[in-house]
A and B are shown apart, each in its own frame.
Chain A
Amino acid sequence: MTYDILITGLIIIAQILAVVVPVLISVAFLVYAERKVLALIQLRRGPNIVGPFGILQSFADALKLITKENIIPSGSNKIVFILAPIITMVLSLAGWAVIPFAPGWVVSDINVGIMYLFAVSSLGVYGIIMAGWASNSQYPFLGALRSAAQMVSYEVSIGFVIITVLLCVGSLNLSKIVLAQQTVWFAIPLLPMFIIFFISALAETNRLPFDLPEDESTLVAGFFTEYSSASFVLFFLGEYASMILMSSMTVILFLGGWLPPFDVYPLNVVPGVIWFTVKVIFILFLFIWVRGTFPRYRYDQLMRLGWKVFLPFSLFWVVATSGFLVYFDMLPN
């Protein structure tokens, strides 16, 4: 009896490690890729010293940051100050539990997978608010307030986009969402929703052009101004891990997850996990491309875009999609 529990526990831990370790490694390479792509956009060379083509730069940076002194401001609320980066990091990894990488390659294939992802991504705001408040300093506090309002606003439109996809699928299970796209990826019939989801994902992960919570030109570094060393690394890793998580969510909802573009011979022998990775890398490239291209939004423009453009439009699209499905009797069971 107790032996069984031990075995179950070990299997669970092994599964968690099998997901978390590749995610953390891909975070390191994403940071490198971002610096390299931005450098190419700006006609620079980017990191090219550590390792061949500078490919080990992120590991060197991480090592440097971790060995530095960890400063906790004396005026801060110490427990919350230390908890904030941990929460950010844990939440950005927790969402991976339900992501299906290939048929059956999922740690926990739950019925409400997409709701779980939505819940985890909506919890991400707590790390930022707690960091801003516990630092007991003006710039982090302003950053935290901005991010609280921003993330709550864009969650609303993300929710409507998810509802639109669910109307076409008829299930909240992520594997079923992918399998429903065997005929056509949802990015094609629901193209406007795909674009809204991508832009909202930028806002939800606090990426440029919506990175107002950290906004270095007005707020020093925003909510993590007071953080140093390992706690800074945790915020950094958390941001990039949640970026990859949002990209996988986009791929699962709109780009057919592990499915090949066409179900024909040379394409369908490639393993699903490779298709999944390729698509995620494509979305991540879009994230970096947007960062290299667009200037930062003004805060009132950001709120206007969320509430006055995306919310009415996605609501309209929910009604239009359900009307279409009911009229042509195409509602899934």
Chain B
Amino acid sequence: MVLYSLTFYLFSSVAVLSALMVISAKNPVHSVLFLILSFVNASGLFVLLGAEFLAMILVVVYVGAVAVLFLFVVMMLDINFVKLREGFLQYLPFGALLGIVLVIELGILFLTDRSSNIYNNQTPLQPIVNEVENTKMIGQILYTEYFYLFQICGIILLVAMIGSITLTLRDKGGVKRQNIVSQNTVDASTAIEKKKVKIGEGI
């Protein structure tokens, strides 16, 4: 029990601290690395809640793929962050307003709604061992009750993908392309031509 609480506080404190570092780090690459650390700790929290499938999906999708491409872009682009910070005071009131609204909303949720499930089912911080694995449970709900919503999510992603491809695709004329089949079928008889060169003459 103590071990679970300890790991919970470890994961959550590192997650919060690294989230703070994401917005305060001077170097954009460091920001992305802290973001990754935050993701990993969030997935650790999922494991403590007994949601091991979600935890692994979080690592595979966000850390393993999305953040890699994110890091890729941040490393390649030469972003001048000093310049971006120039308008800090100008945007401060708006940002502060958003933050305050969020804090108030969270406060309302936790302080007034005492009848909600959060307070009634206060489970101890340890994995809930069920008869059915939660991978199976997610599958059973996702592919029956939420089938249409799930498919619509897929279509939205497809639309976004096609959109980004059409935005970046520039079909320039005169681009030389490789024909892999013809490259692979080359052998000595087609690649090499034997010629007799007479002395004192060229080909």
User: Would you call B125 an interface residue if the criterion is a C-beta within 8 Å of the partner chain's C-beta atoms?
Assistant: no
User: Would you call B135 an interface residue if the criterion is a C-beta within 8 Å of the partner chain's C-beta atoms?
Assistant: yes
A304 to B63, CA, bound (A): 24
Q: Find A123's partner among B27, B63, B69, B180 (CB 8 Å cutoff).
A: B63
A145 to B69, CA, bound (A): 10
Task: Kindly supply a per-residue 1/0 record for chain A positions 115-130, scoring 1 wherever the CB is within 8 Å of any chain B CB and 0 otherwise.
Answer: 1101100110110011
Tell me whether A148 and B68 are in contact (CB under 8 A).
yes
User: Taking the nearest CB of chain A, how far is it from the CB of B25, in angstroms?
Assistant: 11
Known: A5-B2, A133-B29, A148-B72. A119 touches B64 (CB 8 A): yes
Known: A5-B3, A115-B60, A133-B75. A125 touches B53 (CB 8 A): no
User: Would you call A80 an interface residue if the criterion is a C-beta within 8 Å of the partner chain's C-beta atoms?
Assistant: yes
List A contacts of B2 (CB < 8 A): 1-2, 5
Which size bracket describes the interface of A in this complex? 20 to 34
Known: A8-B3, A115-B60, A171-B133. A110 touches B72 (CB 8 A): no
Tell me whether A304 and B64 are in contact (CB under 8 A).
no
List A contacts of B53 (CB < 8 A): 111-112, 115, 172
Tell me whether B69 and A152 are in contact (CB under 8 A).
yes
With CB as the reference atom, state the residue of chain B lying closest to A80: B33
Q: Find A152's partner among B27, B56, B65, B135 (CB 8 Å cutoff).
A: B65
Task: Kindly supply a per-residue 1/0 record for chain B positions 168-184, scoring 1 wherever the CB is within 8 Å of any chain A CB and 0 otherwise.
Answer: 00000000001010000
With CB as the reference atom, state the residue of chain B lying closest to A300: B178
User: Would you call A155 an interface residue if the criterion is a C-beta within 8 Å of the partner chain's C-beta atoms?
Assistant: yes
User: Taking the nearest CB of chain A, how far is it from the CB of B50, in angstroms?
Assistant: 10
Q: Find B60's partner among A80, A118, A304 (CB 8 Å cutoff).
A: A118
A148 to B68, CA, bound (A): 7
List B contacts of A130 (CB < 8 A): 33
With CB as the reference atom, state the residue of chain B lying closest to A2: B2
With CB as the reference atom, state the residue of chain A lying closest to B60: A119
List A contacts of B68 (CB < 8 A): 125-126, 129, 148, 151-152
User: Would you call B36 an interface residue if the criterion is a C-beta within 8 Å of the partner chain's C-beta atoms?
Assistant: yes
Known: A8-B3, A172-B135, A304-B180. A123 touches B64 (CB 8 A): yes
User: Would you call B23 an interface residue if the criterion is a C-beta within 8 Å of the partner chain's C-beta atoms?
Assistant: no
A111 to B54, CA, bound (A): 12
Task: Kindly supply a per-residue 1/0 record for chain A positions 212-244, scoring 1 wherever the CB is within 8 Å of any chain B CB and 0 otherwise.
Answer: 000000000000000000000000000000000
Name the interface residues of B44-63: CB closer than 8 Å to any CB of A: 52-53, 55-57, 59-60, 63
User: Would you call B19 an interface residue if the criterion is a C-beta within 8 Å of the partner chain's C-beta atoms?
Assistant: no
A155 to B60, CA, bound (A): 10
List A contacts of B14 (CB < 8 A): none
With CB as the reference atom, state the residue of chain A lying closest to B71: A129
A residues in contact (CB < 8 Å) with B: 1-2, 5, 8, 77, 80, 110-112, 115-116, 118-119, 122-123, 125-126, 129-130, 133, 141, 145, 148-149, 151-152, 155, 171-172, 300-301, 304
Instruction: Identify the 4 closest CB pairs spanning chains A and B, nearest first.
Output: A122-B64, A115-B56, A119-B59, A111-B133
10 other contacts beyond A119-B63, A126-B68, with CB at 8 A cut-off? A77-B27, A112-B56, A115-B57, A119-B59, A119-B60, A125-B64, A129-B75, A133-B29, A133-B75, A141-B75
